[in-house]
Amino acid sequence: MLIKLTGGTVYDPASGVDGQQQDIYIQDGRIVKKPTETIQVDKEYDLNGKIVMSGAIDMHTHIGGGKVNIARTLLPEDHRHDPVLRTDITRSGCGHATPSTFVTGYRYAEMGYTAGFEPAILPINALQAHMEMADIPILDKGGYVMLGSDDYLLRMLTAKKDQKAINDYVAWTMQSAKAIGVKVVNPGGINAFKFNQRKLDLDEQNAHYGVTPRDILQVLATAVKEIGVPHPLHVHGCNLGVPGNMQTTLDTIQGIGGLPMHLTHIQFHSYGTEGDFKFSSGAAQIAEAINKNKNITIDVGQILFGQTVTASGDSMRQHANHKFASPNKWVTMDIECDAGCGVVPFKYKDKNFVNALQWAIGLETFLLVNDPWRIFLTTDHPNGAPFTSYPHLIRLLMDRSFRNEVLSTIHPEAQKMTTLASIEREYTLQEIAIMTRAGAAKLIGLKDRGGLSAGNWADITVYTGNADRQRMFEKPDYVFKDGQLVVVDGKVVSTKWGTTHTIKPDFDPSVEKDLKDYFDRYLTMKMGNFKISDDEITEDGRGSITVHPLRS
Amino acid sequence: MTEITEVPSPFCGIGTDDLTIRVDGVSLKVMENGCAVNTPAFEQAITDTCPRVDGKEVSLDVAIATAAALLKDTRLPVIGGCATDVNGMRGLLALADRCGAVVDNMNFTGARNNFLALQDSGWINTTLAEVKNRCDLLLVVGTDLEAFAPRFFERYLWNKEAMFLDDTRHREVIYLGKAPSGDASTSPSGQKARILACATEDLPEVVAVLRALVKGQPIRAASVCGIAVADLQAIVDKFKAARYSVVTWAAGALSYRQAELTVQTLSEMIKDINDQNTRCSGLPLAGKEGDQTANQVCGWTTGYPARTRFSRGYPEYDPFLNDTNLLLANGEADALVWVQAFNVNSVAPATSLPTIVVGRSGMTFAKEPDVFIPVGTPGIDHAGHAYRTDNVVAIRLKKLRDSGLPSTAHVLNAIEQAL
């Protein structure tokens, strides 16, 4: 079947196409070159006057795994406000802060997204993350495996194992957990919390291991680079949410010594201590550091006002933040000598000084970082806001007068503490396409996604231009996933199953000798039962695994 | 005849995965690392392999078509049991969504004690490997732990080595409420568990005093329900001296009204201890007959635990009103589907309603159901996944033999398709 998308205005930063009128051809799920005249077009869509981008990719969204399901279970009252009915082609479920898996897929697709990446997969809980994501329709998915608070790595560091041994362990863990990236959360801090440490600065030692977060970042960032993981080490830094943590973030950037590093939800790590409330924006200094250090990429973790729930691997900081829980209930877990998690419901209020300034700090960050290839649009779903608020966020970025209108309604002291009103920048469509498509695919290392040139999979979103960018982005005319039309006028019209994106970095098989001994002595399952086999993802006939090339 | 090693068990709830099982045709024998729970569950013989309709053997296709026909015009079918693996629950929820059924896990009334506490105030919990390596004080509340999971102590407390304890034999075990039925809690060096016994239904009072003492509230009484307050104070002192204490309970063992308040008091007490310069965590015990699995899969599919109805076209959770027994007793339900792939002794509640049983081969019935479809057991007849008690680890279940029995998922998906 040959499909032709005729005459759309194409924004495809991956090929340097910026708003040119182009035809796109789709065959067998992929975009193909213009076929010879003799081949008949089976289906043509007239896209004259429409805007065409590839399907959007959310490179950091908590959509699968234990803490997400704890968040769901914790908040039945949130689901009751947003029941989702079954239809002939879609399953029932619930929405709002942590939607059910099926609804997650539908709602992402209905916004023009075709892939989402779970950024915090605990190795021991990786199976659950994949099983949940296997029940998310339409979207492609993948995940970053969490290391850095696992006792195995910390023991290696204490034992002064060399970098090669650590590389083997990281590569082995990635393969075992079917990951495409590596994440570190509060490096060593989740582990330190188990030893009753309640804070851990960049150069503070773990009470048991004597290892610092700086040490952990260094070996993991090196490992990720040396074993050829395309996605730089994905870092949720120390001191999340602590006033003054801007300095920690600047020190983290400085300390990594030029290695590739992705700082995630940086908004939560960009706080100063100035002003009457001893809480201020560090966005300008952070943005300056990002602009200067080309090895650094970030996503923002924008907060937007309203009820949500925060779900994080950072048990240490989440426990400290439980006093802000709204409603007042929360969960902290220590997990399997591997990691931990904390789930705390939050209600961000525009009339609360801190929340209002958090909102402004995120936007300042977006607007002050110059290179859209190194910054990504996230709310750290659901931690800053549910992913369904992305169209609103895009409007805030693309429409200065709208932004200033909202700014004028937030806590007055917060208005005084932000430079937002004076920032003139408005994001262009091409910059949005970079942040949410081409840049994200490049950052993760997806070889044939995020672009519209021939050879790419046909993940395509078509919008009707609208000065109100929120309206434009919340209701695409068409969404194609692997060439299949899945959304028309912002509603799912058919469903399919996406693939699971992974990489397979090499390791020395002898790494399993020490691991097997460790599993037998200290853990609760056999090493052989820990490794996720391919058939666990594919056996139900819906899942598939896509292995992407390593960085050479 | 073959021997399979490192076999994981879906039966005991604590994720034992070191069993050695001899397979001879379709008969299994546990050769190593069996226990009172796992061995009979693995060795249960296959009897029926053929589905029945009205007691007469039929093909699988006919049984599925009959089941679909029975469900076709129902207004409120109930799918009870829900004792299966992850894929089985996926099929079950798809069927429930299709026919507007109530989904109710058979252990939910017990599990409700935990869910109500969780959904009202939350908790601080831990998992088995943390217990194995860190726990220096274990408080067991209202539960005969070794009857619940015979190998708990051997695997997770009296393990030879722990990463963060010099000598695991020095761990302390204290029972509150129910006394243990055996000696598994006695350490290898002979140190016996401390037992502060009281009637199970007295636990609310005892636990309330314990929490008050943790918070430093003065208690004027000298004893509570037969336990000296001084003895409870001694527990509190141990909590404060411990580096990583763990409090464990089986929600289903707290079999009195409003036991969720006991779970909540314990969970809040654990939070309080964490504010007193040390660590303490809870460890709820479950993971039997797919209960954690049912709640996890229902959780991600609907947002709610496995006592949820689809009768209005979208999931609605009610931990009380969606109880199978209540719906049958009140005449609200008009058909029953009983799904139980693990336990032949766990049969559907007695009812005169049209009944479909998707059950483990070997099940016997006082009253023959309208449709009986014998299915394989996850971890024996087919591969699968099951959650263990700590709700974080899903174990990969192996296929051990070729019995030809279909999986729960296969059967339920086929019924859904037929609708």
Instruction: Summarize pLDDT for A77-117 with one digit per residue, the tens.
Output: 999 999 999 999 999 999 999 999 999 999 999 999 999 99
| A523, part of any domain | no
| B41, part of any domain | no
User: Could you tell me the pLDDT band of residue A37, with boundaries at 50, 70 and 90?
Assistant: confident
Q: Are strands B355-360 and B335-340 parallel, antiparallel or unpaired?
A: parallel
Evaluate whether A187 touches A153 at the Cβ level (below 8 Å): no
In this prediction, residue B18 carries a pLDDT of: 96
Tell me if chain A has a CB within 8 Å of the CB of B419: no
**Mean pLDDT computed over A346-371:** 98
| A18, part of any domain | no
Q: Does the distance separating the beta carbons of A319 and B124 come in below 8 Å?
A: yes
Q: Mind listing the pLDDT tens digit for each residue in A167-178? A: 999 999 999 999
CA distance A204 to A210: 9
| B27, part of any domain | no
Tell me, yes or no, whether B241 and B334 share the same domain: no
In this prediction, residue A38 carries a pLDDT of: 84
Q: Does the distance separating the beta carbons of B122 and A329 come in below 8 Å?
A: yes
User: Range of B365's domain?
Assistant: 48-107+289-418
Evaluate whether A332 touches A341 at the Cβ level (below 8 Å): yes
| B245, part of any domain | yes
Instruction: Among A93, A523, A539, select the one facing B315 at the smallest CB separation.
Output: A93
Tell me if chain A has a CB within 8 Å of the CB of B392: yes
Nearest to A485, CA basis, from A450, A518, A508, A458? A458
Q: Does the distance separating the beta carbons of B125 and A525 come in below 8 Å?
A: no
Tell me, yes or no, whether B298 and B356 share the same domain: yes
Q: Does the distance separating the beta carbons of A124 and B393 come in below 8 Å?
A: yes
Tell me if chain A has a CB within 8 Å of the CB of B169: no
- Is the sign of the CA dihedral A111, A116, A121, A126 positive or negative? positive
Kindly report which listed range (A32-41, A165-174, A424-433) carries the lowest average pLDDT score.
A32-41
| B20, part of any domain | no
Q: Cα-atom radius of gyration of chain B, to the nearest Å?
A: 23
Select from B285, B313, B342 the last residue of a domain. B285
**Mean pLDDT computed over A324-330:** 98
Tell me if chain B has a CB within 8 Å of the CB of A86: yes
Q: Does the distance separating the beta carbons of A83 and B316 come in below 8 Å?
A: yes
Tell me if chain B has a CB within 8 Å of the CB of A121: no
Number of Cβ pairs < 8 A linking chain A and chain B: 188
Tell me, yes or no, whether B160 and B67 share the same domain: no
Tell me, yes or no, whether B116 and B100 share the same domain: no
B302/chain A closest Cα distance in angstroms: 5
Question: Which three-class secondary structure state does DSSP give residue B82?
Answer: strand
Instruction: Among B118, B124, B393, select the one facing A336 at the smallest CB separation.
Output: B393
Instruction: Among A79, A91, A193, select the one facing B303 at the smallest CB separation.
Output: A79
Residues of chain A numbered 469-528 and touching chain B (CB < 8 Å) = 521-526, 528
SS3 content of chain A, % helix, strand, coil (to 5): 40, 25, 40
Number of domains in chain A: 1
Instruction: Among A66, A102, A521, select the one facing B301 at the smallest CB separation.
Output: A102
In this prediction, residue B86 carries a pLDDT of: 98
Tell me, yes or no, whether B276 and B411 share the same domain: no
User: Range of A155's domain?
Assistant: 56-451
Evaluate whether A156 touches A511 at the Cβ level (below 8 Å): no
> Quick one: closest CA in B to A81, which residue?
B316
| A471, part of any domain | no
Select from B269, B285, B301 the last residue of a domain. B285
Tell me, yes or no, whether B173 and B306 share the same domain: no
B411/chain A closest Cα distance in angstroms: 14
| A482, part of any domain | no
CA distance A531 to B264: 36
Number of domains in chain B: 2
- The region, left, alpha or beta by phi > 0 then psi within -120 to 50, assigned to residue B45 is beta
| B1, part of any domain | no
Predicted TM-score of the model (pTM): 0.98
Tell me, yes or no, whether B266 and B367 share the same domain: no
CA distance B224 to B207: 10
CA distance B171 to B309: 45
Q: Is the per-residue pLDDT at A344 higher than 90? A: yes
Q: Does the distance separating the beta carbons of A319 and B303 come in below 8 Å?
A: no
Select from B268, B285, B302 the last residue of a domain. B285
Identify all chain B residues contacting A336, using CB atoms and an 8 Å cutoff: 127-130, 390, 392-393
Reading chain B (419 residues) residue by residue, the pLDDT tens digits are 999 999 999 999 999 999 999 999 999 999 999 999 999 999 999 999 999 999 999 999 999 999 999 999 999 999 999 999 999 999 999 999 999 999 999 999 999 999 999 999 999 999 999 999 999 999 999 999 999 999 999 999 999 999 999 999 999 999 999 999 999 999 999 999 999 999 999 999 999 999 999 999 999 999 999 999 999 999 999 999 999 999 999 999 999 999 999 999 999 999 999 999 999 999 999 999 999 999 999 999 999 999 999 999 999 999 999 999 999 999 999 999 999 999 999 999 999 999 999 999 999 999 999 999 999 999 999 999 999 999 999 999 999 999 999 999 999 999 999 99
CATH number at residue A289: 3.20.20
CA distance B341 to B46: 12
Q: Is the per-residue pLDDT at A309 higher than 90? A: yes
Tell me, yes or no, whether B160 and B267 share the same domain: yes
User: Could you tell me the pLDDT band of residue A552, with boundaries at 50, 70 and 90?
Assistant: confident
Tell me, yes or no, whether B313 and B224 share the same domain: no
The burial of A206, by beta-carbon neighbours within 10 Å (0-12 exposed, 13-18 middle, 19 or more buried), is given as buried
Evaluate whether A482 touches A496 at the Cβ level (below 8 Å): yes
Residues of chain B numbered 83-112 and touching chain A (CB < 8 Å) = 86-87, 90, 94, 97
| B13, part of any domain | no
Tell me if chain A has a CB within 8 Å of the CB of B134: yes
| A134, part of any domain | yes
Q: Is the per-residue pLDDT at A540 higher than 90? A: no
Q: Does the distance separating the beta carbons of B300 and A68 come in below 8 Å?
A: yes
CATH number at residue B263: 3.40.228.10
Tell me, yes or no, whether B206 and B298 share the same domain: no
| A324, part of any domain | yes
CATH number at residue B333: 3.40.50.740
Residue A246, amino acid: M
Tell me, yes or no, whether B239 and B345 share the same domain: no
Tell me, yes or no, whether B116 and B263 share the same domain: yes
Q: Mind listing the pLDDT tens digit for each residue in A446-482? A: 999 999 999 999 999 999 999 999 999 999 999 999 9
* Segment (H or E) for A233: strand A233-236
B93/chain A closest Cα distance in angstroms: 10
B120/chain A closest Cα distance in angstroms: 6
List, as one string, the DSSP characters of A498-524.
--EEEE-----TTHHHHHHHHHHHHSS
| A45, part of any domain | no
User: Could you tell me the pLDDT band of residue A539, with boundaries at 50, 70 and 90?
Assistant: confident
